[in-house]
Structure 1
Amino acid sequence: MSFKKILVALDDSPATATVFAKALELAQKDAAHLMIGHSINLTASSQATLNLAELEEIQTQQAQGLLQFYCQKAKNQGVTAEFSYHTGDPGTNICNLARTWGADLIVLGRRGLKGFAELIVGSVSNHVVHHAPCSVLVVQGQ
């Protein structure tokens, strides 16, 4: 199976480099276009000392830095790449971006939470697997 438009969903977790490497490998193999996506979830990391606007500005700057780094890394490897970020629920944002961009594969990581921890934190990968408009590759975290 060959993919032409691969969406890789990145965050600031330790597994990000592994997830990106897998997406980059697939994009190189298939000469695919790579979309690097990120979701800013303000409720998951709210801090009492910052107001919402300040928090969003800080997280937006961090997201842009992360995405520019990986976008340049892809381009250095000869892969056409662009990036996008949105504020809100990560699972919903990933599925919406895949749908509007026309992705034929989503690559994302999984933290490996189970049971109660997964219930409390939620599972982005589980949401994406069940709601994505295309194939999904879940890269298992360490």
Structure 2
Amino acid sequence: MAGRIVVGVDGSEPSLKALRWAAAQAALTGDSLQAVISWEYPASWATLMPGPIPDFDPEQLAKQILDEALDKALDPGAAASATRTVVGGNAPQALLDAARGASLLVVGDRGRSGFKAAVLGSVSSHVTQHAPCPVVVVRGESAGQDGPA
């Protein structure tokens, strides 16, 4: 019986690598692929902006990033068959919610955060501790590494 593989996507290179890995695993197992991206207003938004910026739709931007990531990382058939999920809210919680009932959750080792020195990103660290299913963290390249991880 086929299951579902959930993969977190934010457009970063580690998330594209995780997306490729998850798609290859789904092809091997016959599982469906669900690509998830989340968005939320920055914490400083309320203090800096009295209201929403005209012509700025963070949900639409997240959808565009997700579409571009799937088109860039996967062949057209795999991209077309993936379920695309855009969630308003915090990334770790969005992934944990999406992973309910999934056979596997896949994330990159770090995403769009500014903390490049972290060994494991905050999202990947959180989901490995709290996921309702097995988690694969796809590692990127590290300094001094000659080839892909």
TM class by smaller structure: 0.7 to 0.9
The structure with the largest alpha-carbon Rg is 2
RMSD (Å), alpha carbons: 3.3
**Which aligned pairs between 1:92-107 and structure 2 lie closer than 5 A?**
92-99=93-100, 102-107=101-106
Q: 1:130: which partner in 2?
A: 129
**Aligned-partner SS, 1:126:** helix
Q: TM-score, normalised by structure 2?
A: 0.72
Q: Which moved more, 1:71-80 or 1:35-44?
A: 71-80
Could you list the runs of 5+ residues in structure 2 that have no partner in the other structure?
A: 111-115, 142-149
Q: 1:89: which partner in 2?
A: 90
Q: Does 1:33 align with 2:32?
A: yes
Looking at secondary structure, tell me which structure has more helix per residue: 1
The number of residue pairs the alignment matches comes to 134
Q: 1:13: which partner in 2?
A: 12
**Could you tell me how far apart the structure 1 residues matched to 2:17 and 2:2 are?**
19
| 51 and 79 in structure 1: CA distance in 2 versus 1, 3 angstrom threshold | same
Q: Does 1:24 align with 2:28?
A: no
Amino acid at match of 2:21: K
How far 1:53 moved relative to its partner?
A: 3.3
Q: Write out per-residue CA displacement over residues 11-63 of structure 1, whole angstroms, 9 at most, x where no aligned residue.
A: 02222221111011101111110111011132268598766633894321221
Preserved contact between residue 10 and residue 66 of structure 2 (Cα < 8 Å) = no
Q: TM-score, normalised by structure 1?
A: 0.75
**Which aligned pairs between 1:51-130 and structure 2 lie closer than 5 A?**
53-54=52-53, 57-69=56-68, 70=70, 73=74, 76-77=77-78, 80-99=81-100, 102-111=101-110, 113-114=117-118, 123-130=122-129
Could you list the runs of 5+ residues in structure 1 that have no partner in the other structure?
A: none
